Structure 1
Amino acid sequence: MNILIVSPFFSPNIQIASFRIDAFARYFREAGHTVTVITIGERDETVTRYGCTVHYLRDWAGNLSGSDARKRFVGPLRLMLMRMQFLCSLDWRALWRRRACAKARELLDREPADVLLTSYSPLAPHMIALRLRKKGYKFHWVADMRDEMSDHPHHSLHIARRLRRVERIVLREADLVTTVSRPLVDQFRRLCGHDRFLEVRNGYDYEEVRDASFQPRFTLGYVGRFYWESRPDNLFEVLAEMKRRGEIPSDFRFRIVGNHLRLVVPEAIRDNVEQEAEVPHDEALAILRQLDVLVMIHPTGRRGVYTGKVFDYLASNKPILALFDPRDVVADLLAETRAGFVADNDDREGVRRKILECHRLWRDREVLPRDWEKIRQYRRKNQVGILLKHLEATLRRH
């Protein structure tokens, strides 16, 4: 197959969304297919990554490079311009979209694609696919939604209504819609009259760590950013109270690696909480081995969303402390793999009990009896294989 991928997220970008698109490109290519990627870069250039041809196109409205002084001057203007693009077109990459669409047409005129895979968000890639269809180009369109579109909890009612119209068009026109969980598949299905959906979860891309290791001091860790309502305030209060009661060692550590803003930490545990700068993904994986408990936090109410870090956590052989809705997909995943504990982020007593479980494991030098066979299905290669198998069968029929 000749596969064209359009997404603003791709290496060397280190966001979770990029890891997903990287995996599609890498494992499509490893399976013997020809893969071309159109993405955003600091400059216009064409390079080879993972054996794929990657066309980087600069987004003049959205790129931010150069000196710190330039960033301080240009940054606010860039954010304002991106905000204006979104308010006008629901797409904060609308200007880049024009350039990317022109590049896609150039490539398709040269050699037709069997498959076009586009990602959301932003809206730009899906709009490019719709534009190409309107111009008469033929391809099997995979619209990778990842998370919600119009139902995202942080959209205003006005924005959600505008997005809903575009969302229905994308769902109707795409040959296949992929997303990361069964609840999101069901959510999208309610907006259209077909069943062309496939659940393709995120995953991890490194060898599972089977050996057990423990830190001299009881060490919790959170690797990544806190987004929106995913805040550690309740956890801080619980840890402070447990320290006061003597339920956990007074010298425990809580390492927060890669959050983009400094957090306000209660005075009682200020010496215990260490806020560290963002590191490359490989370094972040190494840090997981220096922790005793891997923390995840997600606000109650938003369903069907796997935070990307859960899959890296799965393969680490460290207990996961997920402050998530106990009725949601992450709770099911941890129960299936026997990899950790779940408590509602708003349930402080429940959080306390799960921390005590984690502390007991550290104190007694024990590990959870992970189901490694089930965990291995969440290797990114295996998840991409689900999509690849579907595409090969579908295109064979046609």
Structure 2
Amino acid sequence: MNILIVSTYFSPNVNIASFRIDAFARYFSRAGHAVSVIALGPRDETVRRDGYTVHYLEDHFGNYSFRDPKEGLRGIAWSLSSTLQSRLMLDSRAMWRLRACAKARELLDREPVDVLLTTYGPLAPHMIALRLRKKGYKFHWVADMRDEMSDHPHHSLHIARRLRRVERIVLREADLVTTVSRPLVDQFRRLCGHDRFLEVRNGYDYEEVRDASFQPRFTLGYVGRFYWESRPDNLFEVLAEMKRRGEIPSDFRFRIVGNHLRLVVPEAIRDNVEQEAEVPHDEALAILRQLDVLVMIHPTGRRGVYTGKVFDYLASNKPILALFDPRDVVADLLAETRAGFVADKDDREGVRRKILECLRLWRDREVLPRDWEKIRQYRRKNQVGILLKHLEATLRRH
């Protein structure tokens, strides 16, 4: 197959969304398919990497993803430009998409593609696919939604209504819609009259850690940023109360690595909480081995959404403490793989009991009986393989 991917998320823009699209390109290519990528980049350039070609295009009107934080007024202007584009056109990359669409037409005029894969967040890649269809280009369009579109809880009602209209068009026109969970598939299905959906989860991309290790001091850790309502305030209060009661070692550690904003920590545990700067992904994976409990926090109300770190955590052989909705997908994942514990982040007594379970494992030098066969399903290669198998079968039929 000849495959073109259009995404604003791609290396060197390092985040969970980029890792997903990087994996599509990498494993499509390694399976023997010709792959090209049009991506947002810090400058205009075309490079070869890992067997495929990436056409990077700079966004002259809002390239804040790559700006130097010391850039001052220019960085502020970029951020304001992106915000304005979002308000007026629902798309923070609306100006970039003009250049990206022109590049896509140039590539398609040179050589047609069998598959066009576009990503959501922002809207630009999907809008490029719609534009190309309108211009008469032929391809099998995969619209990768990943998480919600109009149903994201942080959209205003006005923005959500406007976005819903575009969302219905994308769902109707795409030949296949991919997202990360069954609840999200069901959410999108309600907006259209077809069943052209495929669940393709995120995953991990390193060798599973099968050995056991324990820290001299009981050490919890959170690697990544705290988004929106996913705050550790209740967890801090639970830990402070447990320390006052003597239920947890007084010298326990809670390492928070990579959160951008300084958190306010209760005085009782201020000496226990260590807030560390962001590190590259490879270093973050190494830090997982220096922890006894891997903490995840997610607000209730966003059904079907995984945090990217859960899959890295899965392969680490450390117990996961997920402060999530116990009725949602992460709870099902941890039950399936036997990799950790779940408690609602607002249920302080429930959180306390799960911490005590993690503490017992540490004291007894025990590891959870993970189901490694199920965990290996979440290697990125295997998740991309689900999509590849579907595409190969579909294109053979046509």
Alpha-carbon distance in structure 1 between the residues aligned to 2:280 and 2:188: 34
The letter of the residue matching 1:355 is I
- Cα offset, 1:330, TM superposition: 0.2
Tell me the TM-score normalized by structure 2.
Answer: 0.99
Aligned residue in 2 for 1:213: 213
Measured against aligned partners, the alpha-carbon deviations of 1:164-200 in whole angstroms (never above 9, x if no partner) come to 0000000000000000000000000000000000000
Alpha-carbon distance in structure 1 between the residues aligned to 2:112 and 2:341: 49
- Cα offset, 1:302, TM superposition: 1.4
> How many residue pairs were aligned?
397
Q: In structure 1, the residue corresponding to 2:150 is in which secondary structure?
A: coil
Correspondence 1:39 to 2:39: yes
- Cα offset, 1:49, TM superposition: 1.6
Alpha-carbon distance in structure 1 between the residues aligned to 2:388 and 2:257: 34
Aligned pair in 2 of structure 1 residues 167, 263: CA closer, same or farther (>3 Å)?
A: same
1:160-179 equivalences in 2 (<5 Å): 160-179=160-179
1:193-204 equivalences in 2 (<5 Å): 193-204=193-204
- Cα offset, 1:68, TM superposition: 5.4
- Cα offset, 1:12, TM superposition: 1.7
Backbone CA RMSD of aligned residues: 0.9
Structure 2 spans left out of the alignment, 5+ residues: none
Correspondence 1:397 to 2:397: yes
- Cα offset, 1:62, TM superposition: 1.9
Measured against aligned partners, the alpha-carbon deviations of 1:9-29 in whole angstroms (never above 9, x if no partner) come to 111221000000000000000
Aligned residue in 2 for 1:316: 316
Aligned residue in 1 for 2:339: 339
Moved more, 282-291 or 72-81: 72-81
Measured against aligned partners, the alpha-carbon deviations of 1:97-144 in whole angstroms (never above 9, x if no partner) come to 000000000000000000000000100000000000000000000000
Aligned residue in 2 for 1:76: 76
Q: In structure 1, the residue corresponding to 2:46 is in which secondary structure?
A: strand
Aligned pair in 2 of structure 1 residues 67, 186: CA closer, same or farther (>3 Å)?
A: closer
Measured against aligned partners, the alpha-carbon deviations of 1:39-80 in whole angstroms (never above 9, x if no partner) come to 0111100001221100000011222467654x1222221111
- Cα offset, 1:350, TM superposition: 0.1
**After TM superposition, where is structure 1 displaced by more than 6 Å over at least 4 residues in a row?**
none
Q: In structure 1, the residue corresponding to 2:130 is in which secondary structure?
A: helix
Aligned residue in 2 for 1:90: 90
Q: In structure 2, the residue corresponding to 1:377 is in which secondary structure?
A: helix
Tell me the TM-score normalized by structure 1.
Answer: 0.99
Aligned pair in 2 of structure 1 residues 68, 24: CA closer, same or farther (>3 Å)?
A: closer
Alpha-carbon distance in structure 2 between the residues aligned to 1:300 and 1:196: 28
- Aligned residues with identical type, % of pairs: 88
- Cα offset, 1:152, TM superposition: 0.4
Alpha-carbon distance in structure 1 between the residues aligned to 2:15 and 2:48: 20
CA contact (8 A) 2:67 2:75 kept: no
Aligned residue in 1 for 2:185: 185
Moved more, 300-309 or 56-65: 56-65
1:258-273 equivalences in 2 (<5 Å): 258-273=258-273
Structure 1 spans left out of the alignment, 5+ residues: none
Aligned residue in 2 for 1:105: 105
CA contact (8 A) 2:69 2:75 kept: no
The letter of the residue matching 1:245 is R
Alpha-carbon distance in structure 1 between the residues aligned to 2:367 and 2:67: 46
Q: In structure 1, the residue corresponding to 2:332 is in which secondary structure?
A: helix
Alpha-carbon distance in structure 2 between the residues aligned to 1:54 and 1:166: 28
The letter of the residue matching 2:72 is R
Measured against aligned partners, the alpha-carbon deviations of 1:272-319 in whole angstroms (never above 9, x if no partner) come to 111111111100000000000000000112110011100000000000
